[in-house]
Chains A and B, each alone.
Chain A
Amino acid sequence: MFDQILQFVLTGVTVGATYALVALGFSIIYNASDVVNFAQGEFVMMGAMSAIAMSAGDGIPVFLSLPLAVLVTIGVGILLQRFAIAPARGASVVTTIIITIGASIFLRGVALLLWGKSIFAMPHFSGEQPIHIGKATLLPQNLWVMGGAAFLVLGVHWFFNHTTLGKAILACSCNRTAAQLVGINVGMMMLIAYGLSAFLGAMAGILVTPITFTSYDAGVMLGLKGFSAAILGGFGNPMGAVAGGILLGLIESLAAGLISSGYKDAIGFIILLLVLFFRPSGLFGKATSERV
């Protein structure tokens, strides 16, 4: 029993680490521009799919295709901000949500056109020799996902707290006008925030795809889970989003293993709803009050 639970926990943390990266991307974009970016999951798909496409057949070697794929995705993120979000500045929240939904459909359409409906695999980074912990097993790739996610989360934390650029983006999310008045190029900061968010998505995609495979519509579910995780942790709180992601991954994995795999997503959402009923601003969110 203990070994089984350990196995579920290991799987859960791996999946949760992916959710955490997507959720972190949601928070960064939300903080910078008040937009809930429903195309976040498509960044994950874009990163993985373009890496696979570039190294397919006699393509370029993997160590080159991965960074290139990340760059491509960052480009997509920046284009999204520049040509879809920035022109709609001042539109209501729901309008911007529909714009990002339009963008996610568009990106899925592009992927469908380029790569069709097939499911693609990606080689593991360092072999498929399982590692045994007690009776539970772990693939080296699981360690890559967990380690990579931890590294990225710490990096983002450092970026926002210890670099001028990171602090400038934070300043924009606190007060755009004030940020502009002290000489921050707000438009540029937005581009960087979307680029960073796309970067995290692409990294999540590249890290996890060797385990989960990918296809043109793989981003939908991941985007949904990432949004759930960000809400669970308290929307707009980056570290809350990370905690929410890990927690959601754990809940799903344990629910699938111990209760029912068919209902695992339902159980995840039921727990999410219960949390919201008792803490309407998520686990680590600040309570807000309305000003009249």
Chain B
Amino acid sequence: MRRLAGLCLLATIVVVLPILFPDNYYVTVVGVTALLHAILAVSLNLLMGYAGQISLGHAAFFGIGAYTSAILTTRYGWDPWAAIMAGLALTGLVSFLVSRPILRLKGHYLAMATLGLGIIINIILVQGDQLTGGPDGLGGIPTLSLFGWALDTDLRWYWMMGATLLGVVWLALNIIDSRSGRALRALHGSEVAAEMMGINTTAAKTGVFVLAALIASLAGGLFCHQQSFISPDSFNFFFSIELVTMVVLGGMASTYGAVFGALILTLLPELLVVFEDFEVMIFGAILMLMMIFLPQGLFVGLQNLVLRWLNRRRSAAFGAVGE
């Protein structure tokens, strides 16, 4: 029940914002990006936060989804929805093929391998210019239409991304509280112990890796039709790191934390623009300070602070009655 309460709150916030501020730049433009980042962060959090498998190459799957859909619609005239499906299929295949050897690795070696995978795929996007347009990118990607509604305004894209985010959050929450979610959390604690309990850890890890990749691919498919122009820079190593930062910043193993982290990391650069030359420096400093003082992440850390404060108030109230 508590699960649904959080989801309802999130849904309310997502729905109310554009109704209150329909023409606000921060809602319809930054908001769409924030929703997209939140989808990606929630998917990465399934892998990192719950299963404990670090990935520094998540942007690669986002890129495969985006580029497959973009290439099929612009060069081969496919219907955008069919193209997104094809992107999902390709991502599923690639992620499944690499998951076995990669997920055998642990800790820093896993981080390195996923980072390498991300960079390799990005280099292919840059170098395969006959197909991908190379570093100059690929333009003229048609927009999506849904039941005869063309998604041709920022506000309509906001609704599309918002609905997708709510769907993905709902999916993530349900998985975490299911049998396979418990298996993931068990193998996060100790893989050997999880195996002793009869969990097929390889299957569990592969499953969550492919699922996270598929969600990222879907986000990529939406992203390319929303932007109508994409270039390899949107899917590089820095973006993978940014996604990891969102997850850790919000608080690992918290789906709402991932959403929160995505929101902060999308808003912060927008707000820091006023500092001009100091922007990069201040961003780095804020990132360091937040992690030093709230190592469990902002969302989880603040949640704990509030709970502790409530507890203290309650015990104080009891104390007063006792006297």
- Name A's B-contacting residues (CB within 8 A): 36, 84, 87-88, 90-95, 97-99, 101-110, 112-113, 224, 227-228, 231, 235, 260, 262-263, 265-266, 269-270, 272-273, 276-277, 280-282, 288, 290, 292
Contact = CB atoms under 8 A, between A and B. Distances in A.
A101 B107 contact: no
Interface string B237-281: 100010011001100100000000000000000000000011111
Nearest to A112: B280
21 contacts: A88-B291, A94-B48, A95-B295, A98-B245, A99-B287, A101-B287, A102-B291, A108-B284, A109-B278, A109-B279, A109-B284, A224-B237, A228-B116, A235-B109, A262-B127, A273-B116, A273-B120, A276-B105, A276-B113, A290-B191, A292-B193
Contacts of A113: 277-278, 280-281
Contacts of A104: 284
Given A94-B54, A107-B284, A292-B193, A277 B291 contact: no
Which 7 pairs show the lowest CB-CB distances between chains A and B?
A: A109-B281, A106-B284, A105-B284, A109-B280, A102-B287, A102-B288, A91-B295
Dominant secondary structure at the A interface: helix
A95 to B, nearest CB: 5
Contacts of A101: 241, 245, 287
A246 B166 CA distance: 49
A103 B288 contact: yes
Interface string B281-317: 1111111100110011000000000000000000000
A252 to B, nearest CB: 12
Dominant secondary structure at the B interface: helix
A90 B48 CA distance: 19
Nearest to B290: A102
B132 to A, nearest CB: 13
Nearest to A107: B284
A112 B120 contact: no
B101 interface: yes
Given A98-B244, A273-B102, A276-B112, 18 more contacts: A91-B295, A93-B107, A97-B248, A99-B287, A99-B291, A102-B284, A105-B284, A109-B280, A109-B284, A224-B115, A228-B116, A231-B112, A266-B127, A270-B116, A270-B120, A272-B113, A276-B109, A280-B109
